[in-house]
Amino acid sequence: MSKTDITEKIVSLCKRRGYVFQSSEIYGGLNGCYDYGPLGVELLKNIKEAWWREMTYREDVEGIDAAILMHPRVWEASGHIDNFSDPMVDCKECKARFRADQLTDTDCGNKGYKGRKAIKCMEEGKFTEARNFNLMFKSYIGPLEESSSVVYLRPETAQGIFVNFNNVKEASRQKIPFGIAQIGKSFRNEINTKNFLFRTREFEQMEMQFFVNPNDDNKWFEYWKEKRIEWFYKYGMKKEKLKFYEHEKLAHYAKAAFDIEYEFPFGWGEIEGIHNRTDFDLKRHSEYSGKKIEYFDDQTKERFIPYVIETAVGASRSFFAFLCNGFEEEELVKENSDGSTSKEVRTILRLHPALAPIKAAVFPLVNKDGMPEISKNILNDLKNYFKVFYDDSGAVGRRYRRQDECGTPYCITVDTQTLEDGTVTVRERDTMSQERISKDNLLSYITEKIKFKI
């Protein structure tokens, strides 16, 4: 199966099962924007929750939720007004628009040149000169479109953290080293959006800025680098699909930068950046706002501007990585009633149970003999704790297949034996193994498996 086929299969599964839809689809779609469907919203929420637990349920990290719209001076201080741009070129022939620094990896936009890379068109002189294009979406506060009322949709969540450094430090009485974490929407007017959720114009980020004594920056950089890759492993990412990439060319504010890359069907791509941003941001905000932003260590009597170790991960981009990581088409050999065999393909989303949208599905084997009532009772009991799905239509095998595609880790079937001894079968998604357990033990059995804290 080609790599493009895999992406297409995932996109199609996302639509079929209600993970992701194109934004404004009935109007022909809006490029670079996506809507999360009933299962997608659960998976995204679970990813964010897993990150939030990991990053903020510790003594030295606090959470915030800053406004998307911020004072326009923030973006002058951060350097986004001057530097947050990509070089853009237009093809004079087919009118397609490209990022000039990505031409080797980008397909030519002209339908008549299938398989050709845009760099070739550049070499043949088909492109305009590169010009810089600022990626921030601009709007205006109030009814007048004048320069004094300009606002931007934030292109990253980090700045909401920097400008609140003093507030959080004082309110929480944290001592350095400590971090501030935030999850939220960011917006970038990307020149080319491609590869489904990988590069979109509206997306969610999960960022944490850890403020340290400048003398300790290397130690904390190493600490967070390891912590972050471990988080992906913990939620089931295959080790061979993740790697670190070290930036040689650093941003003007950075002292060190590593990306965690995932091997998507279309190639390796960044899912998280771990950066040593030095004291650049706090210094600049202090300078631009005229407010003192610094730290006084009352033990050592040192006064300094903290360095920042940043961990910045895309919630939506890692959502896509988790889908790619879990997607599998397994070939099964089926024995037919006449003794012959045939092949069947089982599509599975092997999502970590803690991330899976639906934790368990409940099936009555048949719609009679009290089985639906027992099944409904199980459903009503479990749904107080996590998302459960009820399905009584079609053969049980078909119901299993549907849940495999949705990524549901456990399917519970109520059958004739349940009527006699109160046990049910629990079938596990990945191994398809079945266990009989008492229906009264279902809650503890599943919560233990999904490590879901009640």
Identity of residue 139 = S
Cβ 104 to ligand ATP shortest distance, Å: 15
Strand order in the sheet with 434-438: 388-390, 360-364, 410-414, 423-428, 434-438
Could you tell me if 344 and 329 are in contact, meaning their C-beta atoms sit under 8 angstroms apart? no
Q: Using CB under 6 A, which of 91, 305, 313, 446 touches ligand ATP?
A: 313
Contact with ligand ATP (CB under 6 A): which of 160, 184, 273, 409? 273
Cβ 445 to ligand ATP shortest distance, Å: 35
How far are the Cα atoms of 55, 89, 177 from residue 30, in angstroms, in the given order?
33, 22, 43
Binding flag, residue 364, ligand ATP (CB under 6 A): no
Q: How far apart are the first and last CA of the chain?
A: 42
Tell me how far, at minimum, the Cβ of 160 lies from ligand ATP, in Å. Answer: 14
Amino acid at 264: F
Binding pattern to ligand ATP, positions 196-225, x when CB under 6 A? ---xx--x-x--------------------
Q: Work out whether 80 is an interface residue with ligand ATP (CB under 6 A).
A: no
Q: Using only the alpha carbons of the chain, give its radius of gyration.
A: 26
Per the CB < 8 A criterion, the answer to whether 364 and 393 are in contact is: no
Asked if residue 281 binds ligand ATP (CB under 6 A), the reply is no
Alpha carbons 93 and 139: distance in angstroms, whole number: 32
Taking contact as CB under 6 A, which single stretch among the options 242-250, 309-317, 329-337, 353-361 is the one that binds ligand ATP? 309-317
118 vs 292: CA distance, rounded Å = 49
Least spacing, CB of residue 353 vs ligand ATP, in Å:
24
302 DSSP 8-state letter: E
Tokens of 283: 């210094």
Q: Which is nearer to ligand ATP, 205 or 375 (CB)?
A: 205
Of 17, 126, 188, 277, the one binding ligand ATP by CB under 6 A:
188
CB of 307 to ligand ATP, least distance (A): 18
Closest CB to ligand ATP belongs to which residue? 314
Minimum distance from residue 310 beta carbon to ligand ATP (Å)? 8
Least distance to ligand ATP from the beta carbon of 118, Å? 17
CB-CB contact of 371 with 364 (8 Å):
yes
Q: If you ran DSSP here, which 8-state letter would residue 153 be given?
A: B
Residues that bind ligand ATP (CB under 6 A): 156, 188, 190, 199-200, 203, 205, 270-273, 312-314, 316-317
